[in-house]
Structure 1
Amino acid sequence: MGAGLALDTDRYFFISSNVLGGCKGTTGPSSINPQTGKPYGSQFPNIVVQDIVKVQKALLEHLGISHLKAIIGGSFGGMQANQWAIDYPDFMDNIVNLCSSIYFSAEAIGFNHVMRQAVINDPNFNGGDYYEGTPPDQGLSIARMLGMLTYRTDLQLAKAFGRATKSDGSFWGDYFQVESYLSYQGKKFLERFDANSYLHLLRALDMYDPSLGYDNVKEALSRIKARYTLVSVTTDQLFKPIDLYKSKQLLEQSGVDLHFYEFPSDYGHDAFLVDYDQFEKRIRDGLAGN
């Protein structure tokens, strides 16, 4: 994003909001419940992607915005972009969905389950009501470490660390450099994320069903009027190419104006965050239709 780039700040006005259920501004489990004067914690309601999109729509209405050039999202954001196109088909000209499928796979749900169990079984979790005590940092850190392995690739980790060891590593601790890297990422995550928000957003990923409120998925997807760009990375281990192919097929069968791209990257799922050159072109293509 910047002047002259695909997300050209000289041409477009950008809106990027925090999600419902998160911990960076929009109401989430760590927000104060006005009925109790304490954080919602375990009392925060279950949410789905459709709820998140409704809150985003309310924000745009508050800002007086009635139409968008495009909605762009990667990973979980891609699911939100997809649902925007279904629920509000006349609101945007383009959808750009980066590294995200119509449904989360069984394997991905399994990873999320293990990550949630790491948090829930932390002795400090207290059923989600830990805000007046010690947060479940150990569980959240472990969950993040596992998550990082789904975002990267074996090739990238081999290039960065291989089997290199640390000179001061302990046998049962961070002996290998890749272990030290994961430990660092787990601890760093604690500075910016809340465990309850993590659980709720993981579950929203699992539960995403674009047909919610419609008779079936084809009826839901056939509502889409926007030009739709879908980008897949061949090495993505979280939203695998097979899942993107299935999404491509569903969108095409539903009559969506679909433009599908796929390319290799050492970075796996995180490619949309770091492989700028490849995604720059695809985003430009995605904005070129209208």
Structure 2
Amino acid sequence: MNVEHDTLSLGKFEFECGETIPDLELAYETYGEFTGENAVLVCHALTGSAHVAGHSRASGTAGQARAWWDDIVGPGKAIDTTEYYVICANVPGSCYGSTGPPSTNPETGEPYGTDFPAVTVTDWTEAQRRLLDELGVPHLHAVVGGSVGGMNVLEWAKRHPDHVERIVPIAAAARLDPQCLALDAIARRAITTDDNWNGGDYYDDDPPSDGLAIARQIGHVMYLSKSSMDRKFGRRAAGRDAVRTFPTDPAAGFFPYRDVESYLDYQAEQFVERFDANSYLYLTRAMDNYDLSQGFEDDVDALAAFEGEALVISFTEDWHFTVQQAEALADAMREASLDVAHHVIESDHGHDAFLVEPDNVGPPVADFLDEGLSGSAITDTDEEFEPEDEFAPVHTSLFSQ
């Protein structure tokens, strides 16, 4: 597979909030050969990077060794790099190679920290557009992405409707619901109330690891369903060698240290070694703030200029972005006269299913990229979906990217 990884300077960049930085750098990777009409942009989720495919770590991924969608992107896979020219860019505000809070401000020689401008999904989209201009890619065959990456996909259809033929928002919605907003707010408060956060100025000292660890654990629970947690952990005690990560109350010694606690502690320990706390604050706010209808009358109006095809994919036990939310998005697309299918996948992996179920996700994506909505693996809920249907909560590890 022909893979290129690099960091490109886009020069002065003005963010949606009105603030500017003198130089925005984007870390990106490309796969395959560009033929003029075969470009596919892949948008990563919250804590992902540009390293979407390939087993060895590419430079600039700043600690993310494993490609986050290697089961989907590659030669002969759903997004076939022998057929498509695939681009994935790390978003502004992240800590995986693109300019963000931990980057050095060239005007001060110090990390930006919380002096970095507020970032939005719109900023991600505009930065990607400028990157594609630099790469000589004027038009996209498709934009594909999961979770907040799916919101990034929607923003492409909204802001650059003439530049995209097909969109695939996966496990995504037009906006977050209040429950997820509340949980994200608690996660951010775990970081900002850690004494080591120090107002975001911690780069010369100890980082707010405890706060970031708790934020990561909240994120994991948001992505796990009752059924998946019961199957994976039950009420089992952790093994004899398991050691509690966080301080405990005196009574804890009488009670078991459970397997689910040990798992969350381990994931938190791994995460704080590779991710930046300020970046986590910035990226979750970008996700929470996203509203497809912003600047328009409603979702239908926001999508009215897009004349391409859309494949919306959702998962039955995803409570972060539910099937109902996906169907509401598909309905808005239908009302905007888009050619759209809403493909629902039965899964007890929940939100992370788009990462961990390539056998279910790959076929409809591959068919849609190749044949549009006539693909044989694509089903549509248009006449079948019942809004009152209820689906339980799930996840495995979006944040382990």
Question: TM-score band, normalised by the shorter chain?
Answer: over 0.9
Q: Is the 8 A contact 2:190 2:211 kept in 1?
A: yes
Q: Is the 8 A contact 2:121 2:286 kept in 1?
A: yes
- Specify which of 192, 197, 206 is matched with residue 120 of structure 1: 192
- Specify which of 11, 18, 39 is matched with residue 83 of structure 2: 11
Partner of 1:234: 316
Amino acid at match of 1:196: N
Partner of 1:164: 236
CA RMSD across the alignment: 1.6
2:174 is the alignment partner of 1:102:
yes
Between 51-60 and 210-219, report the one with greater CA deviation: 210-219
Partner of 2:150: 78
Q: Report Cα offsets for 1:59-85 as digits up to 9, x if no partner.
A: 000001111111100001000011011
Partner of 1:202: 284
More helix by share: 1
2:121 is the alignment partner of 1:59:
no
More strand by share: 2
List, as ranges, runs of 4+ consecutive aligned residues in structure 1 with deviation greater than 6 Å.
Answer: none
Name the CA shift for 1:191/1:69 in 2 (closer, same or farther; >3 Å): same
Q: Equivalents in 1 of 2:316, 2:307: separation in Å?
A: 27
Q: CA deviation at 1:215?
A: 4.5
* TM-score w.r.t. length of structure 1: 0.95
Q: Report Cα offsets for 1:42-95 as digits up to 9, x if no partner.
A: 111111111110001000000011111111000010000110111111212110
2:319 is the alignment partner of 1:247:
no
Q: Equivalents in 2 of 1:143, 1:288: separation in Å?
A: 40
Counterpart of 1:134 in 2: which secondary structure? coil
Between 41-50 and 165-174, report the one with greater CA deviation: 165-174
Amino acid at match of 1:266: D
Q: Is the 8 A contact 1:153 1:235 kept in 2?
A: yes
2:306 is the alignment partner of 1:224:
yes
Q: Equivalents in 2 of 1:50, 1:167: separation in Å?
A: 46
Q: Equivalents in 2 of 1:64, 1:142: separation in Å?
A: 42
Between 104-113 and 206-215, report the one with greater CA deviation: 206-215
Between 246-255 and 56-65, report the one with greater CA deviation: 246-255
Q: CA deviation at 1:112?
A: 0.5
How many residues were matched structurally? 290
Q: Is the 8 A contact 2:316 2:348 kept in 1?
A: no
Partner of 1:191: 273
Q: Is the 8 A contact 1:28 1:44 kept in 2?
A: yes
Partner of 2:342: 260
Counterpart of 2:188 in 1: which secondary structure? helix
Q: Equivalents in 2 of 1:179, 1:214: separation in Å?
A: 44
* TM-score w.r.t. length of structure 2: 0.70
Name the CA shift for 1:126/1:5 in 2 (closer, same or farther; >3 Å): same
Aligned-pair identity (%) = 39
Q: CA deviation at 1:2?
A: 2.1
